[in-house]
Structure 1
């Protein structure tokens, strides 16, 4: 990562004009960060968070990003991710990272979140996926919500392409529910079945929010009411943070 920071310093400071606040809210112990991301396949708001983390801690505290299986399997991109410490978003990989005392950031909404239309740019999409709460209980770590804005302006998603994804059997083939129609550089209006655009220089703002304590009693894993309560609390906190950032 050290070798990449020359490039990332430029991208953070000048291309995306990144602002990340709330570092003082992070617990001292390993934590699970939960947020939203955007930009279809190239989620610059996720990448800038990880780069800002590395720059802030200078490698003293390790944060693992997580990615969809399809991205991890892509030639070139998958290799880059692995070299940067990105891990698959599954129980085994995330659990091992916490056992090693590392932090992990998860974007539960997956492609439904990252490929949401531009008109929903400031809407939190976790897609009802609550496995991250059970993982936090299992690993005994707090959850730290993260709000971000600006990522949707790096590429404009005109249509999420849910029906087209069904026709193309993307769910069966790639575990993907979306086939977004984008307006981006350099190809203009394009059906983006794989990464094709160069992200535009949008300003990205990120705020690390107050942590949410999670009961590590194993019985809570199957406590549907408890899991639902925590899910709604986290979703609400992120939305409040996004609303605040969107006004800047």
Structure 2
């Protein structure tokens, strides 16, 4: 048995834990309850030299451009797959490590994340100084309406439960919110693929839906918005640990899919009458579309356009994968859309 620590030491530890816990709780319901929804913070840490050092961890880590993107437009970069920790999203778009600002000059792209990540003390300010913003619909509309662009890892945390070496299994069929945002703002959709992302970790994800661990993972996803995949990589000095495997990472940015901004019937009628097109619009310059509370709009024409552009996006994404699979993921299975 270990000896009893001094009373003064115990009191000091208790005081530290209590005050830090209280500070965290107050922060979570105070500043932490206000995530970045307008990209107003400067990207002070975006060009931090550590990011380039981080990129050297992977033997080949590169951002590949397949088409020019005019800087006078807004874009929604859809990144696939999520993998365990989305290194492709972070290095390719969340920092300047791979030269995004050189390949696409004039485009200010903001990586998006869950609101819960802004509730932790110091992590919030760290993310804000990197230009990271909330992935909420209103935040995306605000950012696109201001002329900036966003990068969304479309599959989210749910897709991390599908991650496995050699597999490009996506959650995309039921993810259409990003297309709705594109229609409301006129932003172009840009499919992107992070080749090598599934190989960064070994995972234990082939669990039955009835397995207790899987049920717990789904519970976390439903209640907190994120989940925890069972994964392992290598260590700093040991062959096993939480660091990713040093595998090649090639992030391919596809050609833009032009999306015409949806105006809605009321706005079109107002424009035909020669009056200001204010009806059906909100302050950020995006068209306002009434929803049914489940993400879908009550406007049948709008939803038909959502389905149309979503199909175009899926087709372009699959073609992009087929074009580059032989070069960057020769032994991987075909890309599959499971949900």
TM range (shorter): 0.7 to 0.9
Deviates more, 1:145-154 or 1:238-247: 238-247
Pair 55,16 (structure 1): closer, same or farther in 2 beyond 3 Å = farther
Counterpart of 1:184 in structure 2 is 233
Instruction: Give the TM-score taking structure 1 as reference length.
Output: 0.82
Q: Kindly state the Cα deviation for residue 205 of structure 1 after the two structures are TM-superposed.
A: 0.8
Pair 70,198 (structure 1): closer, same or farther in 2 beyond 3 Å = farther
Alignment of 1:65-214 (within 5 A): 65-118=111-164, 121-159=167-205, 163=210, 164-167=213-216, 169-176=219-226, 178-186=227-235, 197-214=242-259
What's the RMSD between the two structures over aligned residues?
3.0
Counterpart of 1:229 in structure 2 is 308
Larger radius of gyration: 2
Aligned residue for 1:105, secondary structure, equals strand
Aligned residue for 1:65, secondary structure, equals strand
State the alpha-carbon separation in 2 of the partners of residues 237 and 212 from structure 1.
Answer: 8
1:49 is aligned, of 80, 88, 92, to 92
Q: Kindly state the Cα deviation for residue 68 of structure 1 after the two structures are TM-superposed.
A: 2.0
Q: Give the conservation status (yes or no) of the 8 Å contact 1:91–1:135.
A: yes
Q: Kindly state the Cα deviation for residue 185 of structure 1 after the two structures are TM-superposed.
A: 2.7
Task: In structure 2, list runs of 5 or more residues that go unmatched.
Answer: 1-43, 265-288, 290-296, 328-339
Aligned residue for 2:187, secondary structure, equals coil
State the alpha-carbon separation in 2 of the partners of residues 215 and 227 from structure 1.
Answer: 11
Instruction: Give the TM-score taking structure 2 as reference length.
Output: 0.62
1:27-81 per-position Cα deviation (integer Å, ceiling 9, x unaligned): 33121111213332x2101111113354526984311001123333345544432
1:9-34 per-position Cα deviation (integer Å, ceiling 9, x unaligned): 22334535222222643233121111
The structure whose residues are more often helix, as a share, is 1
Greater than 6 Å deviation, 4+ residue runs: none
